[in-house]
Amino acid sequence: MSKGFRPKKALLKRIKITGKGKMFRRQTRLNHFNAKDTGEGTRRKRKESLIAKADEKAMKQLLPL
């Protein structure tokens, strides 16, 4: 017996979905070697980045949207 559709919980923990359906992810290269960055680079990393449209389509298939 099938248990039906089960969303990927790991993906749900890593992205944020806005009210209009846009998907955001955490910025990369945040874990270490951050002392080398300029102040501008550090501030840029604080913001979440928008997921590309091509990747968004694949991710929506894994989520219950």
d(CA 51, CA 60): 11
Whether 4 maps to a domain, the answer reads no
Q: What's the pLDDT score for residue 18?
A: 92
Q: Whole domain around residue 35: which residue ranges? A: 9-62
Q: What's the pLDDT score for residue 63?
A: 87
Residue type, position 36, single letter: K
Whether 1 maps to a domain, the answer reads no
Whether 2 maps to a domain, the answer reads no
Judge contact between 27 and 45, C-beta under 8 A. Answer: yes
What predicted TM-score, i.e. pTM, was given to this entire model?
0.75
CATH number, domain of 42, equals 4.10.410
Q: How many domains does the chain have?
A: 1
Q: What's the pLDDT score for residue 4?
A: 81
Residue 1 scores a pLDDT above 70: no
Instruction: Give the pLDDT confidence of 4-54 residue by residue, as tens digits.
Output: 888 888 998 999 999 998 999 999 988 999 999 999 999 999 999 999 999
Contacts of 11 (CB under 8 A, 6+ apart): 59, 62, 63
CA terminus-to-terminus distance, the chain: 23
Whether 43 maps to a domain, the answer reads yes
Q: What's the pLDDT score for residue 5?
A: 83
Whether 58 maps to a domain, the answer reads yes
16: β partners: 24
